[in-house]
Each structure stands twice: as C-alpha cells, then as structure tokens.
Copies of this chain bind each other. A is one copy, B any other.
C-alpha cells in the first residue's frame, strides 16, 4: 500500500520497503524532537528529513500525535536494556548505555531528557518512561522499596548517558568501556540487590 508513495518520491533511490521507511520516519522524528519543542515540529519537517512525502508519514502513522506516541515508546529498547540475569544487570545496563553511545550515538533511555516539561506530549513520554523503564526494572527487584531503588538505579544510567552523549565528558569518552563498567556498575548493582538480604533476613 505504501510503496506507491515511496516510489513516487524516491526515483533513483530504489524501492524502500515499509519497514525501512517507517524506521526512517521514526528516526527523523526523534532527531527533531531532540532539538526542537514538540509544538514547533511540523509533519512536513519530519517528512523532509526522512526523505519521504508528508502524505506518506500520515499513511504510516495517522497523524502527528500518533507518530510522536510511537517515537515516545521505550518498549523495544528496554527489552535489550534489561536482558540479563539480575545478578549481572547493573553491569549489563552500564555496558549497554556505553556501547549504544559509542557505536550508534544513541542511548536506550536518554530520550526522556528531551521530554517537554509542559503539555500532553511530555506527560506521555514520562508516563511511558515510568511504566516501561523504571517500572519494569522495579518488577524485577525483590525486597523493600523496589520502586525507589529502581528509579535510583535508572538515575545513574541516565546520568551516564547525559555525561557521555550531551556533556561529552572527555574522561568518560576516553576510557575503556569495561573500565567504566568496573567503576560504575557496582553502584547500580547495589540499588538492585535486595536490601532484605543485606540485613541478613532470608525470606
């Protein structure tokens, strides 16, 4: 259904399949959302950056709000982010943030920092972040205050992403990934460990 649009706009670029086009649109929307206020981003600007026509964006996503809802979803990224046994999860998440930054200039959870502080779009992004990132991590934890401990663990990972990708700290960027994992992951893991265990209780 969509290849007609893609072909119409893409002479000489070859046939784009639906998956590629969809990904290009999401990537363009993320790029713009990271740099401009939501209200200032037009569908035309998204289409232009993705190299497709505005009607094609509508064809895939329905409308601007639906497009941004999709962009504001963390599900797919978090799947990989949390994919490790609990005992190794701290190191896994630190490594995942760093390799994402090094290899793709991207971060599985850092999009939350671009959430607009006011308006509905910011609320959607925050709500998704809570349920899909810190909330899902909390479900993995046992012991008291799992919600708070999950948020504090995620805080550390967010901060590492900000330092690497936004502040561009020269020392953290020059260090070996595994050196940073060694130094940073124990603090993350300490939030994940059951506090009951630390107090000598076995349940």
Contact = CB atoms under 8 A, between A and B. Distances in A.
Using C-beta atoms within 8 Å of the partner chain, give the interface range for chain A: 35 or more
Given A35-B116, A36-B40, A117-B35, A163 B155 contact: yes
Number of copies: 2
Interface string A173-188: 0010001100110110
A129 B167 contact: yes
B155 A162 contact: yes
Interface of A: 34-37, 40, 112-113, 115-117, 126, 129-130, 134, 145, 147-152, 154-160, 162-163, 166-172, 175, 179-180, 183-184, 186-187, 190-191
Given A36-B37, A154-B167, 16 more contacts: A36-B36, A40-B40, A112-B167, A115-B166, A126-B166, A126-B167, A130-B169, A134-B169, A147-B171, A148-B179, A151-B172, A152-B160, A155-B156, A155-B160, A158-B159, A187-B187
